[in-house]
Structure formats: C-alpha cells, structure tokens
Amino acid sequence: MNAGTQVCVDTRFRSAMRRMQQAGRIRTLAREADPEFQIAGMMKKLDGAAALLFARVKGHAMPVIGNILCCKENCEAAFGMDYRGIRQSVARSFGHPMAPVRVANAPVHEHVYRGKDGFDIGGMLPVLTHSDGDSGRFITAGIVVVQDPETGVYNASYHRLQLIGAQRTALRLDFGRHLRAAYERAQRMGKPLPIAVCIGTDLAVHYAAATMGSQMPESADELAIAGGLRGEPVPVVKALTQDIFYPAETEIVLEGVLLPDQQVLEGPFTDFGGFRQPAEDAPVFEVSALAHRAQPLYHAINGVGRETVMLRKYVLEASLLKALQAATPIVQDVEMTAGGLHRFHAVISVKKTIPQHEGFQRNAILAAFATLKDLDLVIAVDDDIDIQDSNDVEYALAMRMEASKDLFIIPGARTHELVRVSNGGIRAKVGIDATVPLEDQARFARAPFKAVEVEAGAFSPDAPGSLDWLK
C-alpha cells in the first residue's frame, strides 16, 4: 500500500476492541477493582502488555478499559495491520483528508442526560484517581472537539479534565495548543466556547488528535485528517445542547462550554514525563449534557503510562518520515525511541550510494529538529543498522561515531516546556552522525554469517547428548 492508495480501515472503537479481544490482547479482571488508585496502579504495574478490562468497578456499573494502545502488539491488533501499515495510513491522511459526513442519529445518543436532569459526572462515570499526590479525579482519555470561533476549523486534541463539581471540570490548556488559541479568541469575543469531550471514540480520531508539528498546522481539520486515515469520512452528529458536531461512534460524550471569565486551580497531576505538574489556573468546562452508548466502556489513560506516549509514536514517525524524505534523498526510515518517550529522541536510517550523498545525513538531522520542535536528540545511522533495536543503534555509536567530529550541538533551541532540565522550554539540541563515509563502508562492514534454517523444537533440554553425564 502506498501513501496515496485509498484503503478503508474500520477504526471504530468497538471494532478495534473486538479485534484486540480476538487477538488475545485484552485481559479481564474478574474481581472488583477500586477506581481510587487501584485501577491506575494495576495499569502502571502491567504497562506495555495486553490491554486491561476492569469489568467490575467499585461504586459504578460502567467497566473501565486501559492500556489499549500501550505497545506495538496492541496497536497492530487494534488496527488489524502491522505498524508499517498504520504509519502508511497516517501518512496518507496528511495528503488525502476527507471531510466528515453528518448523520442524524448516533450510537452515543442512546442514553442522554441534560443539565436540567441534575446528573453528576463523577457519579455516572468511573473517573480514576491516578497517583498519590494528585489533586483529585481526572478524565485522561478525553478528546476535545472544538470549532474555532474565528476560522471555523475543527480541532481534536487530548486534554485532561479534573472534576470540580457535579457538572463542571477544570480543563488543562498547554501553551502552543490549537484549543488554547481557539479559547483565547473566544475570550477576546467575550463568548463561551462550545466543546465536546469524546471518551472512547474512533481510533482514527485518537491518532489525528495526537498529531503535531509541521504536518498539522492550525488550519488543518483533525476530523478530516481522521477521515483520510480511515479511507472514508468520519460520521459526525450534531451536539444536543451546543452548536458543534462530533464523532457519532463514541462511547461517552460530554457537551458544554469553556467559560471565558472563570478559572480555577487545576492540578497537581503526574504528567507523561513522570513528574508531578504543579497546580495552575485553568478554564472551567461547564457541562450541559452527558450522553453514552448502551453498555459503554470508559477508556482511561495513565498520565505516566506508555499509552500516553505510544499514541504519538506512529503519527510523529509518519510526519517526520514524510518531511525528511521530501527534504533529503537518502532517508530510508525513522524511529521515535521508547527511551525518548516516542517524542524527544529519534533515529534516522540513511542510505548513501554516491559521493554526492555525503552530508545529507546531517541535513536530515537539522530537518528533523525543524519538523518536530520537541526533538532534542537525533541520531543518523546507516541502513545496515536496525533502528528498532536499541543495541544495534548503540553499536553504531560505539563503532562509527567519533565525538570530536560527529557530535554537534545547537544551543538555545525550543523544546517542550515540561522538560525540566530546560529553561522554560529552551535547551540545546544534540545531533549525532553515526554513519560511515561512503568510501569507508567496506572497511566498516560487519562480517556476515551463512544463512541457516533452525526448525521449531530443534533444541531441547532433554535431547540426546545432553550434559546429564556431568553429574
């Protein structure tokens, strides 16, 4: 499949959960679990493996599912394709967005509660208390859908929400985010900003909401990008109480407005870097309606869990690869590494075939920093290095990188403001050229082994000739 091929992918939330179940990527806890610390603690302890379904939640009838997209195996099962197919689908979405299609009826409207009904968000939803020291209960997997009040462009993005009342939450707004820009425009107009918070929605929307950098400017419509990933438009439905549309295939939705003139302290909360963010002022989200499907699943994401960072891995890789291959002819592949939280470190695979290719590996490193501002370390290696194998990448550093010539520093560059070692988001970037000059490739080639076949079960502890005789 190439990036321009229109292939339909069933990314609906329940379809993805069924595929994961069939692939053995969901484990169910039969006994009751407590949403106060216990569920989040189990998610953390079993992070990076199968998704966890908490079928019985203390004080709630609604089950909780977590760690859905926390590892490669889960992602591949959820999408029904390998990771390269996922990346190609994401890459296709950038160049082939498809505007959403409006529908009259939606599964998410099977059960509806309006503000006059006096519903209590915290009583209806099994919102977790995550980490010791957090300031309360937080919705962490909510995707906020907003239509910019000036441009009319739809945006979808992740934001955490702290419960502060029966029908009110605080909503964290980081700097540089599109939702923050839309909110500040609404503030200048003196108007509340309508939003919808979708919990458990189409995976294409999840991935579009995780996209950032040069491939997702403020003018891009994330719901159209999600349609491009699916290969067909995302069905959206009109909100019941606000003038906004959101994905119809959603487990739970909160409708309401961000108030332009009210703020409260939000936090502390433990963020993706493992640090507890201090309390800061945040706008108030006043919820006007809560709706959900019959027998809904409540999706939770641990603030410090791998799902938090894994969600961005393939979208950032697709974005980076597209930009680098357009800028430099020798780039073969990219890997956003786990140790760099799939966000701050990248490895670039290059292939030099003619003398004129020399130097492009460093151009690619610089282009990577320009494409994704949060990248702080980029390593370029030759195409014989397996960039998904951290040991092989470290081998390239050990055997092919001469620090006095191949390491370069870009001081005073912009990174994420939550990187604590930075000065308010300013830090030095490091580029490492661990490639071999074209004329020296034969000298640096590793000795090959003959290809051999080893049949299953060929080796056994009980095979004849074992060392039992040593006794």
Looking up residue 173, the CATH number of its domain turns out to be 2.30.110.10
The one catalytic residue among 202, 271, 333, 433: 271
DSSP letter (8 states) at residue 458: -
- Is the same domain home to 359 and 257? no
CB 189 within 8 A of CB 303: no
212 and 81 assigned to the same domain: yes
CA distance 177 to 14: 29
Backbone CA torsion sign across 210, 184, 276, 133: negative
HEC states along 197-239?
EEECCCHHHHHHHHCCCCCCCCCCCHHHHHHHHHCCCCEEEEC
* Within a domain: 277: yes
What are the backbone dihedrals phi and psi of residue 132, each rounded to the nearest 5 degrees, phi first? Answer: -60, 125
Do the domain assignments include residue 465? no
Q: For residue 380, is it within any domain?
A: yes
Decide: 379 and 406 in contact? Cβ < 8 Å. Answer: no
- Residue 320 domain flag: no
pLDDT tens for 42-63 read 999 999 999 999 999 999 999 9
Whether residue 401 sits in one domain with residue 272: no
Whether 402 is covered by a domain: the verdict is yes
458 falls within a domain:
no
Instruction: Write down which residue in 307, 336, 352 finishes a domain.
Output: 307
* Cβ contact 385:349 at 8 Å: yes
Please tell me the predicted confidence (pLDDT) of residue 4.
44
Same domain, 227 and 182: yes
Query: Same structural domain for residues 258 and 372?
Result: no
**Which residue shows structure tokens 């590793």?**
446
Decide if 271 is catalytic: yes
Q: For residues 83 and 159, state if they share a domain.
A: yes
Residue 366 belongs to domain with CATH number: 3.40.1670.10
Give yes or no: residues 280 and 350 share one domain.
Answer: no
The pTM of the full predicted model, rounded to 2 decimals, is 0.85
DSSP state of 129: B
User: How many independent structural domains does the chain possess?
Assistant: 2
Query: How confident is the model at residue 197, as a pLDDT?
Result: 98
Q: What is the DSSP string of 119-145?
A: --HHHHS-PBB-STT--S-EE-SPEEE
Element (H, E) at 370: helix 360-371
Query: Are both 278 and 423 inside the same structural domain?
Result: no
Q: Do 293 and 364 sit in the same domain of this protein?
A: no
pLDDT under 50: residue ranges of the chain: 1-5
- Let me know whether 257 and 369 are in one domain: no
Q: Which residue type occupies 101?
A: V
For residues 347 and 295, membership in a common domain is answered with no
Same domain? For 95 and 221 the reply is yes
201 in a domain, yes or no? yes
Rounded to the nearest angstrom, the gap between the alpha carbon of residue 179 and the centroid of all alpha carbons in its chain is: 17
Which residues span the domain enclosing 287?
Answer: 13-307
Residue 108 belongs to some domain of the structure: yes
